[in-house]
Structure 1
Amino acid sequence: MQPAAPSPATNGHAHAPPVKVPLVTEPMNIFASLKAARANVLSIIPAIATRQPMVSGRTGKRWHMVMDPDAIRSMLLENLENYPKSLVTKNLLRPAIGESLFIAEGAHWRWQRRTAAPVFSHRNVMALAPTMTAAAERSCARITEAGPRAVDMAADMVRTTFDIIADVTFSDDGTFDADVVHRGIDAYISDAGKISLFDILGLPDWVPRPGRIMSGGSVSAMKRVADEAVEARRARGPEGVPDLLDLLIAGEDPETNRKMDTAELRDNLLTFIVAGHETTALTLAWSLYLCAYDQGVQDRARAEAQSVLQGRAATGEDVSKLPYIRQIIDEALRLYPPAGMISRTAQVADTLCGREVRPGDTVIIPIYALHRNHLLWEDPDSFRPDRFADRKAVPRYAYLPFGDGPRICIGASFALQEAVIILATLLSRFRFTPVAGRDPEPVMILTLRPEGGVWLEAEPV
């Protein structure tokens, strides 16, 4: 289905595709699945899922993995209400982000989405671009300062994108302690991310979770800091370019005129911070790993970036003039989607790919396997940015880095603009090469991270 020409292997990588997750070749019982999921959620995906439209099984309860674009379209678009987010997903995230946009269902989700959608309009996202440009400059300064030694670009990208989200959320007005929030998010992701057997079995929230107790203190500190910042901003009002908090406070549901209260504002801001910095950082870290892995791609991207930027950092206006940089990001999102798997719980009887789905079944879209499915992609494990030279040739529900349907990620345009600005700026100024023996390992707990970091040598050009 992908007519893209293979890029010439300029670096001896012709026969070794970039790092990937080893998928399962034998069926697993519930305890083996749990053990595997705690180490790497993606490791429970059967390898056959990359060659079939649908795979079903039973591990405690019935489950189905769906890789067929038409069936996925039916779940995410046509029959959205019949496939709400699964209990596991909600139980994992609710303690940190409450009933925010990411978790809410039905009417409660709809009014929040209507209120928040204008916040991410093209005009508002463009107005936040200078913050992204400044953060890209600071990243370049840190890399230069590190001198000729290797840098963990995954860690630097987390720092860069967290700076941006803290800045565009609270515009650094002194009321927001970014470190407390960063610590709270890190503690929560590392503790809560270890999938609890209780969550898989769907036990109610009041049953204590072993991993969740530890992060409770950091999470309440994070919420307290965010509450104080929201209240201080309400009292002060906006100044200068409105940031995300100003825009959300001003936002109201066009149908009911309802506005968000402090808890709703806080939960949605924390959702934007949690969802909005790590996912983009991961996309950038994997993009840099892939550019170091294929120097031919990197050279072509650098030539494009240098011709547009002429020595300066990229801005919002440059994004549309950097199509190849965007293709690299799209291909990194295909190979290493930050949300590598989404699960839903069927509410009514249905038929997907000619197979019976019963109420209560867990229906999983393993985005990692969808993006590497041999029925949908030519040579799916290879890194080929040219697949995205013609976006219209990519079947819509075969490529879901941001989900799709009414619940498509609200911040997708923000994330893509940020990623293009940062990647173009870095590639225009440095040549990145891999450190021998330090390949990252793709591991998904809540998001698909490069375990061990992305260690690259950066040589100024």
Structure 2
Amino acid sequence: MSDKLPARCKLVTEPLGIIETLRVARRNLVEIIPDIATKQPIVSGKTAVVRWHMVMEPDALRHILKDAVDVYPKSDVTKNILEPAIGNSLFIAEGSHWRWQRRAATPVFKHRNIANLAPIMGAAADRSTKRLAASKGRAVDVFAEMVQATFEVISDVTFSDGDSVDAGAVHRAIDAYIAQTAKVSLLDIIGVPTWVPRLNRIGSSSAMKDMRRIADASIEERRNAGPRDIPDLLDLLLEGEDPETKRQMNTDELRDNLLTFIVAGHETTALTLAWALYLCAFDEDVQQKARAEASEVLNGRTATADDIKALPYIRQIIDEALRLYPPAAFISRTAQQTDTLCGREVRKGDTVMLPIYALHRHKDLWENPDAFDPDRFADQKAVNRFSYLPFGDGPRVCIGASFALQEAVIILATLLSRFKFTAVKGRDPRPELILTLRPSGGVWLQVEELSS
């Protein structure tokens, strides 16, 4: 393990006023987290009209995410940012509407279905291999490369016929929408009700409306065509049924969930892979150990689902990358009734924040928390379940977590067995939270193809 520390965010050490909070939040939302949040179980405060609490204590997080999930739904700010893009999908829906969708969609992500998608993931790794080999010694932005690779995967497993929808156009429209609307507004900071329009979110949904219409037409076309021999994600969702109510998703519900899976299903994995490659370049000893494992298991071929159990160190690197750079680094909830967290009163309407970035670097929960150390995940049972939340937990744990982890292991193992990655001096990425924790400026690495 390197004595140096990899890239990290500078957390605030003094209270910020409203204007300064807005300035910092618009620059990098994660930087509004106070440094004390990495040392205390709970931190509370108040803006002009809203009380807020940041919670980092595992038992309290268990309460929020599992035991009292209906008391702490997603915040109105989160819903207002995302609903125009992904509607009332699994990610946003609450209560009974969420429950039946979850029951209908859960079988889609069974182990057998995910394992059947591994060849698509391997094919994307092979295409990435060809692109990286063509760089011929030039520095490569591996974040951009991983975005392309993982988008190829989600496109192929979502619209495998290739002509029902321009999935790339759908992604570009959603990405542009989020880039415009995800910035925090002063009205969000001071607690103005979300029904008051935010200027940066007015008129930003025209492209999304067009893409929603295209997706609707594609879904209807597939529905009328009937089932195929090898089902893709859309086929499985069309067939999905809530076992309790026998309800199936209509076109609106299918479209909203497909758009959610297209974006969340590739960007979060791309981020995980890009940060993992950065960390491997950061610590050459880790990279060599991972390459030795991958090379021994794969012997020159592309990784498959059957190889995953034989690649534990690759998985540890991915787990550690998710700890240091969780894609969902900052989660917000709104209390629906009076409650108590860490001995502190929480009132109805209070904002309850889950700063996952701070949780994963908490000094009472992790030894040397800012260091890159994959060995801390050598024994998964030794990790407190609610101190490590890259995919959330409880009934709303990310439905695609096993899909993302399988994809990440297959691609990372394949690439590490074929290339050496070296950091580019002066080009360290800066973690920046704009809905997800992205590497500002990309992840630039020198890529050297290894002799076979």
State the TM-score, normalizing by the size of structure 1: 0.95
Match in the other structure for 2:151: 162
Contact 1:127/1:241 (<8 A) preserved: no
Say which SS state the counterpart of residue 202 (structure 2) adopts: helix
2:18 equivalent in structure 1: 30
**What displacement does 1:234 show?**
0.4
CA distance in 1, matches of 2:294, 2:174: 33
Q: Amino acid of the residue matched to residue 114 of structure 2? A: V
Q: Residue 289 of structure 1 aligns with which residue?
A: 278
CA shift at 1:78, angstroms?
A: 0.7
* Aligned-partner Cα distance in 1 for 2:259–2:94: 18
**8 Å contact from structure 2 (residues 171, 262) kept in 1:** no
Between stretches 194-203 and 74-83, larger displacement belongs to 194-203
Partner of 1:185: 174
| Deviation of the 1:128 alpha carbon | 0.9
Q: What is the deviation of 1:248?
A: 0.5
Superposition map of 1:380-399 within 5 A: 380-399=369-388
Which of 76, 84, 98 is 1:87 aligned to? 76
Match of 2:417, SS? helix
1:148 maps onto 2:166 in alignment: no
Q: Does 1:45 align with 2:33?
A: yes
State the alpha-carbon separation in 2 of the partners of residues 64 and 184 from structure 1: 34
CA distance in 2, matches of 1:59, 1:262: 41
Structure 2 residue corresponding to 1:420, chosen from 403, 409, 415: 409
Between 286-295 and 214-223, report the one with greater CA deviation. 214-223
Following superposition, the deviation at residue 437 of structure 1 comes to 0.3
SS of the residue 1:101 aligns to = coil
- Kindly indicate whether residue 243 of structure 2 is the aligned counterpart of residue 278 of structure 1: no
Q: Give the whole-Å Cα distance in 1 for the aligned partners of 2:87 and 2:371.
A: 39
Deviation per CA, 1:50-73: give whole Å up to 9, x if none: 011111111231100000000000
Distance 1:225 1:423 in 2: 34
- Pick which of 273-282 and 209-218 moved more: 209-218
- Contact map agreement 2:361 2:369 (CA 8 A) in 1: yes
Deviation at 1:202, TM superposition (A): 5.5
**Is 1:310 aligned to 2:332, yes or no?**
no
- 2:348 paired with 1:359: yes
Aligned 8 A contact 2:18 2:190 in 1: no
| Superimposed CA distance per residue, residues 203-251 of structure 1 (whole angstroms, 9 cap, x where no aligned partner) | 5666443222353222112212211211111011232321111001000
Residue of structure 2 equivalent to 1:3: none
- Residue of structure 2 equivalent to 1:4: none
- Which has the higher mean CA deviation after the structures are superposed, 200-209 or 428-437? 200-209
- Counterpart of 1:401 in 2: which secondary structure? coil
Write the distance in 2 (CA, Å) between the matches of 1:201 and 1:290: 38
2:237 corresponds to which residue? 248
**One of 345, 360, 364 as aligned partner of 2:334:** 345
Please name the residue that 2:308 is paired with: 319
SS in 2 for 1:140: helix
Which residue identity does 1:241 align to in structure 2? I
**Conserved in 1, the CA contact under 8 Å of 2:85 and 2:205?**
no
Structure 1 segment 258-277 matched on structure 2, within 5 A: 258-277=247-266
- Which residue of structure 1 lines up, in the alignment, with residue 42 of structure 2? 54
Q: What number of residue pairs does the alignment pair up?
A: 449
In the superposition, relative to structure 1, how do residues 391 and 80 fare at CA in structure 2: closer, same or farther (>3 Å)?
same
Matched with 1:118 is 107
How far did residue 31 of structure 1 move? 2.1
What is the CA deviation profile of residues 130-188 of structure 1, one whole-angstrom value per residue up to 9, with x for unaligned ones? 11000000001000112110110000101111111111011143111022112112201
The runs of at least 4 aligned residues of structure 1 exceeding 6 Å deviation read none
Q: Which runs of 5+ in 2 are unaligned?
A: none
Q: What is the rounded CA distance, in whole Å, between the counterparts of 2:391 and 2:203 in structure 1?
A: 30
What amino acid does structure 1 have at the position aligned with 2:384?
A: P
Q: CA RMSD in A?
A: 1.2
Gapped runs of 5+ residues in structure 1? 1-6
- What is the SS of the residue equivalent to 1:26? coil
Letter in 1 for 2:37: A
What does residue 239 of structure 1 align with?
228
Contact 1:92 1:199 in 2 (8 A): no
Contact 1:153 1:456 in 2 (8 A): yes
Of the structure 1 ranges 55-64 and 279-288, higher mean CA displacement relative to structure 2 is found in 55-64
Q: Cα distance, 1:36 vs. partner?
A: 1.1
How far apart in 1 are the matches of 2:439 and 2:322? 13
Deviation per residue, 1:389-445 (Å, 9 max, x gap): 000000000000000000000000000000000000100000000011000000001
How far off is 1:196 after superposition? 2.5
Native 8 Å contact 1:169 1:243 kept in 2: yes
Name the SS of the counterpart of 1:215 in structure 2. coil
